[in-house]
Structure 1
Amino acid sequence: MNYIPPLDLTQQYQTLEPDIRQAVTDVLASGRYINGPVVQTFEQQFAAYIGTADCIGCNSGTDALLLALRAYDIGPGDEVITTPFTFIATAEMISAVGATPVFVDIDAQTYNLDLNQVAAAITDRTKAIMPVHLFGQPVDMTRLMAIAQAHGLIVIEDCAQATGATWQGQKVGSFGHVGCFSFYPTKNLGACGDGGAVTTSDGAIAEKIRLLRNHGQPQTYCHTVVGINSRLDAIQAAILTIKLGYLDSWNAQRQAIADRYYSALSQIDGVDPPRAIAGGQAVWHQYTLRLTAKAADSDLRQAIRQQLQAQGIGSMIYYPIPLHQQPVYAALGYPAGQLPVVEQVAQQVLSLPMFPELTPAQQDHVVSGVRSALADVVTQVLKTPA
């Protein structure tokens, strides 16, 4: 069997190539490359899809987080509660506005923020909570919003990996005060370059974000606040508009793959495959399992990855170093063991190939590869004298 990569974007493009070529050509012919009607059309359609009054396109998911934080005047002296198990952009943008990220441990099943620990992390400096719907698995937003409302806190949803995911039938990105999305090419809804968006039903916040993303100018050469240059270009908006029509079917294909993976992998000792929690509909941006075999650690994981690679199966590790243990956040003073679940999970997770075009035969090969690699590596480890 040919090599199975963790992600393959070429098949998606081949399917959509005629439509994408035409859309890009139309934008080029129009001469309207920044903002304009094509961007506005996508913003309107994406807002309707998520279920919010407004969508504001921007340059990236990272900028979406930055714009959201700035829109609520979060800055020096403020604290924002978030997860240590995510891409650095989540905490990085909290730091970028001068606020302090406060890390709370994760739930061992979903890898999302442990809501049992959030309330204890709230102080008189806490201004917001930033949940991350990691790997496409939705956070329990009913419970999180209740916590936030009880303490008068802003909720900024990091939906970068979860476009289309729902909690109790409602799309993520429509629960919090704002939702922040990434359209990086690898995402479930990915552009052919960078792109992002903020969703909200607060009209005043939407206007403030539009102002901030365009150099703080309500009209040309009149600047009322210090903003940034973070606009979604029309070519990417045109591509995203096409892909949005396919997103639900792609997510359904991901769900079918996840179901098949779970059915097979749950039969293998030493593997804890992910599964959706009651009330949530995941979109499986990544299919990330835990290696729980005896002697499971980062060395065993690397050995398993090597064996998978030898069998033509790609894999990834998201994320090997939790944010509270990153050198950039050493000054925050989190001692080893303070967040025990994430520290253990980070040593055990392994992401398997996941994309809508993954065939049943490829899925079977992945499962077979995991089974044989785990058996071989664990046997070798246990036979090796301490």
Structure 2
Amino acid sequence: MSRAASPDVARNARPYLYGGEEAAIASALSAGQYNHGAVTEEFEQRVAAFLGVPDVVAVASGTAALHVGLLAAGVGPGHEVLVPSFTFCATVQAIVATGARPRFIEVNSGTGCVEPAEVLAALTPHTRAVLPVLYGGRAVDLTPARPTLDTRGVTVVEDAAQAFGSCQGERRVGATGVVTCFSFGPVKNLTCGLGGAIVPRTPLEADTCRRLRSLGIVESAARRAETTTYTVDGFGMRVQMSPLNAAVGLVQLDHFAEAETRRRALWRAYATALDGIDGVALVDADVDRTVPPMCAVRVLDGRRDRVFGELRNRGIGVGVHYPANHTQPAFSPWHRPLPVTERLGREIMTLPFHQHLTPRDAEHAAGELRRALVKADR
């Protein structure tokens, strides 16, 4: 390449701010409402309009969104939730937090996502929900499995932490009729600093989510300010999204078209640069319909760990997303053999990916990967 790559390639992921976030936070600070307020509600309304859905419930994190979404769908003790082992541990922890049991299932090694056939094959009489993970932002279409799931009373709760802005067909993820949970964490497609959201299916489910996020209190914050008492009618947590975080999200949403364009361009630059490199398989993000949060590859023939170490030594911020959860000590009670996932967990590696990077940075990272593969063969 004709010039050195940006030092940003040393970081696997990094938040991207557009310049108005600090002023938005200052404005929210001066308003004096930090727990829940009008800015949070504006964020909910704006996200709902962006997705084309009637309602969105904002919460403190993507993990909280999953926990609340599962509880609102009726998941609890005695139930099983089908979930890919190939995901961040937060997905599984949210299931455990409800008192339900995770039942780990395989994924497609080319996409990192579950397939309808695997879901149907794993169903048991105790299955209450299936939690597909939209790995790499790619939509998961369980339409072929839906008649069976609906007949058996199994709810689909999507872990769309990585998929804000992506599409399934002509609709945005979140607008496809299932419970959808987003994360707006530091390095997501849209960041609030920290935050998450649930897309409920019905007004009743939305009301349930709002009570769950607010300690089980029936009345809204605005209504409580006008009365001398309030009603707690069930379990709840304090997992509201602060207006400070919502203020950041509103600025980010104003610039989301730029995020879509730049992230797709960077992923395509990687795809071009990686083409023809032996021993590496690019995980298919379906980029025409996906707003990618990462670029993941499989390093084949048992070389991943050596290549990973060499790239880190060369200043390339590679990562591993993710080790298999069914092999983790915390989840050992639910272990079952998953050879595809186990192999994928040994091969997966993510390349530097964030909006500070350019296509030239992608070319540089791919070139360093090629050289690391050669060294790993010696």
TM-score (norm 2): 0.91
2:127 aligned partner, one-letter code? T
Is 1:251 paired with 2:252? no
Matched residues in 2 for 1:148 and 1:6: separation? 41
Matched to 1:250, the amino acid is A
Query: Which residue identity lines up with residue 69 of structure 1 in the other structure?
Result: L
- 2:311 and 2:125 map into 1 onto residues whose CA distance is 49
Q: Distance in 2 between matches of 1:85 and 1:70?
A: 22
Higher relative contact order (CA 8 A, sep 6+): 2
Alpha-carbon offset, residue 140 of structure 1 = 2.0
Counterpart code for 2:81: V
> Does the CA contact (< 8 Å) of 2:273 and 2:362 recur in 1?
no
TM-aligned CA deviation for residue 7 of structure 1: 4.1
- Contact 1:141 / 1:167 at 8 angstroms: preserved in 2? no
Structure 1 partner of 2:322? 319
| Superposed counterparts of 1:260-339, under 5 Å | 260-277=269-286, 281-292=289-300, 296-297=301-302, 300-320=303-323, 322-334=324-336, 338-339=337-338
Which residue matches 1:383? none
In the TM superposition, what is the alpha-carbon distance from 1:246 to its structure 2 partner? 1.6
Aligned partner of residue 29 in structure 1, secondary structure: helix
How far 1:146 sits from its partner (Å)? 4.5
Give runs of aligned pairs for residues 302-381 of structure 1, distance below 5 A.
Answer: 302-320=305-323, 322-334=324-336, 338-378=337-377, 380=378
Query: Are the equivalent residues in 2 in contact too, given 1:266–1:272 (CA < 8 A)?
Result: no
DSSP 3-state at the match of 2:309: helix
Please give the alpha-carbon distance, in whole angstroms, between the structure 1 residues aligned to 2:53 and 2:200.
6
Distance 1:169 1:308 in 2: 39
> What residue identity is the alignment partner of 2:178?
H
Q: Which residue of 2 aligns with 1:5?
A: 10
Q: Distance in 2 between matches of 1:151 and 1:253?
A: 42
Q: Could you tell me which amino acid in structure 2 is paired with residue 117 of structure 1?
A: E
Question: Which residue in 1 is equivalent to 2:137?
Answer: 136
Query: What displacement does 1:362 show?
Result: 1.2
Q: Deviations over 1:1-57 (max 9, x none)?
A: 3531334546x33xx23x222211211221122222111110001011122211111
Kindly provide the amino acid, as one letter, of the partner of residue 359 in structure 2.
P
TM-score, scaled relative to structure 1: 0.90
Distance 1:197 1:9, change over 3 A: same
For 1:107 and 1:8, how far apart are their aligned partners in 2?
A: 24
Residue aligned with 1:180, SS: strand
Take 1:176 and 1:375, find their aligned partners in 2: how far apart are those partners?
48
Cα deviation for residue 148 of structure 1 reads 2.6
CA distance in 1, matches of 2:188, 2:286: 22
> Contact conserved, 1:177 with 1:202, CA < 8 A, in 2?
no
Amino acid at match of 1:352: L
In 2 relative to 1, CA 351–92 (structure 1 residues): closer, same or farther, beyond 3 Å? same
Offset at 1:253?
Answer: 1.2
Contact 1:154 1:176 in 2 (8 A): no
| Count of matched residue positions in the alignment of Structure 1 and Structure 2 | 364
Are the equivalent residues in 1 in contact too, given 2:137–2:285 (CA < 8 A)? no
Structure 1 residues 306, 332: CA separation in 2 closer, same or farther (over 3 Å shift)? closer
- The residue identity in structure 2 corresponding to 1:289 is V
Matches of 1:242 and 1:145 in 2, distance apart?
Answer: 37
**Aligned residue runs from structure 1 range 156-305, under 5 A:** 156-192=157-193, 194-219=194-219, 220=224, 221-277=230-286, 281-292=289-300, 296-297=301-302, 300-305=303-308
- Residue 109 of structure 1 aligns to a residue whose secondary structure is coil
Contact 1:159 1:179 in 2 (8 A): yes
Cα deviation digits, residues 268-300 of structure 1 (max 9, x gap): 11111122449x7122211000112xxx22xx3
Q: Please, what is the CA RMSD of the aligned residues?
A: 1.8
8 Å contact kept, 1:113–1:132:
yes
Cα displacement string for residues 94-143 of structure 1 (whole angstroms, at most 9, x for unaligned residues): 11111111111110111111322111211221111111101212212433
Q: Give the deviation of 1:68 after TM superposition.
A: 1.0
> After the TM superposition, which of the residue ranges 262-271 and 225-234 deviates more from structure 2?
262-271
Among the aligned pairs, what percent are the same residue?
32
Indicate if the aligned counterparts of 2:164 and 2:190 stay in contact, CA closer than 8 A. Answer: yes
**Matching residue's letter, 2:318:** S
The answer as to whether partners of 1:61 and 1:181 remain within 8 angstroms in 2 is yes
Q: Is contact 1:64-1:198 (8 Å) kept?
A: yes
How far 1:255 moved relative to its partner?
1.1
Asked if structure 1 preserves the Cα contact closer than 8 Å seen for 2:116 and 2:142, the reply is no
Q: Is the 8 A contact 2:66 2:159 kept in 1?
A: yes
After superposition, the C-alpha distances for 1:167-196 in whole angstroms (9 at most, x for unaligned) are: 11211122243111111111111122x211
In the TM superposition, residue 81 of structure 1 has moved relative to its aligned partner by 0.8
Secondary structure in structure 1 of the residue aligned to 2:349: strand
The Cα of 1:331 is off from its aligned counterpart by: 1.6
Between stretches 207-216 and 67-76, larger displacement belongs to 67-76
With over 3 angstroms needed to count, the CA separation of the structure-2 counterparts of 1:228 and 1:36, relative to structure 1, is same
Say if 1:176 and 1:346 are closer, same or farther in 2 by CA, change over 3 A. Answer: farther
User: Bigger shift: 148-157 or 22-31?
Assistant: 148-157
Which whole-Å CA distance do the structure 2 matches of 1:267 and 1:100 have between them? 43
Aligned partner of residue 116 in structure 1, secondary structure: helix
Distance 2:129 2:344 in 1: 26
